[in-house]
Amino acid sequence: MKALVIGGSGLVGGHLVRALAAAGWETAATQRTPPRASPATHRAIALDLLDPASVQALPGQVAGVSHVFFLARTLQKGYRIERESNVRVLEAVLDVLQDLPSLRHVQLVHGLKWYGSTAGPFPVPARESDPVPGAAHFYYDQHALVRERAQGRPWHWSTLRPHCVSGVATHSPSNVMLGMAVYAQLMKEQGLPLAFPGSQAAFDARLTYTSADLLARAMLWAAADPAARDEDFNVANGDVFSWSQVWPAVAAAFGMEAAPPRPQALRDTMPPLAVLWSRVVQRDALVPNALPALVDWNFMDATLALAWEQTMSLEKLRRHGFGETVDTPAMILEIIQAYRRLRILPAP
């Protein structure tokens, strides 16, 4: 079991690398800039997916790789995810790895956008057998590409579809839980109550979120279990919640009063508070992270704009053999505490 994680420094990649280490896999994980030192859990290698020479050198650095986990995304300013470039980088990786004799499995992680979740209300709970919406998306192109390249070759594939992956990561600004926590701390510093920054409809919408730890374990299962070969799986915690249900507990975790929603464009209201955040970092001796390095407010706005139910069926996942669950409200509070232990957030 020799894993290659393409995009190993993000939220999902970091949790996956740790899960692979715990399971005894030999692991290499890529990042764009050369690492200062390889972490104990894996061998870090530099890979710029937009540089053909860098991609061409990849096979020589991962001899004997058996499983490829492709997690990379190319992002444009304003949290715009371009279709063509995201297909092109996967194509480049497959070009150089697909004929390796050792290769046994290629896995992609997509998400609820597969079902058109960001375009408006969609049939819920979403099922893997649902018709593909009419709009184009790089998920569909990547899926077709992997299936096509697997034809006539000995390796298999799988795709997983989580929603709002939640966990602890220090170099992944597209992170809804850290975004919410930093937002709450900044409201507290101003002496304000904790008002949900989206609409009332988004506050009340029924949601299924996915623990990054649970997702990582599901990824290992899907990559290694024959029952998961050449299949797509929704992956979520297993419960349904709304922000309105958990908001009082979130406010209490910060010693604040919960307030009704106050819709705002965080991309406009939060950046001016960067100086305030710097004062918090200095006052509480936190790890010195600038506000833009912690949170992508465009990502937060896009996430909170979804003012309709976002739930998925896990029946297929359960039927094929993966049955783990996570309590989402407890997960949210534990993530806040974990960031405090890491000195990313101040103590309450």
Tell me the pLDDT tens digit for each residue of 321-336: 999 999 999 999 999 9
Residue 316, domain member (yes or no): no
Residue 317, domain member (yes or no): no
Contact 137, 108 (CB under 8 A): no
Are 213 and 269 in the same domain? no
Residue 113, domain member (yes or no): yes
Residue 10, domain member (yes or no): yes
Task: Report the alpha-carbon distance of residue 253 to residue 194 in Å, rounded.
Answer: 11
**Confidence (pLDDT) at 77:** 63
Task: Report the alpha-carbon distance of residue 161 to residue 127 in Å, rounded.
Answer: 10
Return all residues near 330 (Cβ < 8 A) that are at least 6 apart: none
Return all residues near 238 (Cβ < 8 A) that are at least 6 apart: 314, 324, 325, 326
Are 139 and 8 in the same domain? yes
Task: Report the alpha-carbon distance of residue 48 to residue 89 in Å, rounded.
Answer: 10
Angle among Cα 169, 174, 54 to the nearest 5 degrees reads 80
Are 216 and 201 in the same domain? no
Domain boundary residue, one of 192, 219, 234: 234
User: What pTM, to 2 d.p., does this model score?
Assistant: 0.94
Report the CATH number at residue 98. 3.40.50.720
Query: Has residue 39 got a pLDDT over 80?
Result: no
Q: Which domain, by its residues, includes 24? A: 2-164+209-234
For the ranges 54-58, 133-137, 282-286, which has the lowest average pLDDT?
133-137
Domain boundary residue, one of 234, 250, 269: 234
Are 281 and 333 in the same domain? yes
The number of folded domains in the chain is: 2
Query: Has residue 58 got a pLDDT over 70?
Result: yes
Closest CA to 299 of 133, 125, 169, 149: 169
Residue 202, domain member (yes or no): yes
Are 283 and 299 in the same domain? yes
Mean pLDDT of the chain: 94
For the ranges 57-71, 81-95, 207-221, 311-325, which has the lowest average pLDDT?
81-95
Per-residue pLDDT band at 340 (split at 50, 70, 90): very high
Tokens 């497959």 belong to which residue? 94
| pLDDT one-digit tens code per residue, 233-269 | 999 999 999 999 999 999 999 999 999 999 999 999 9
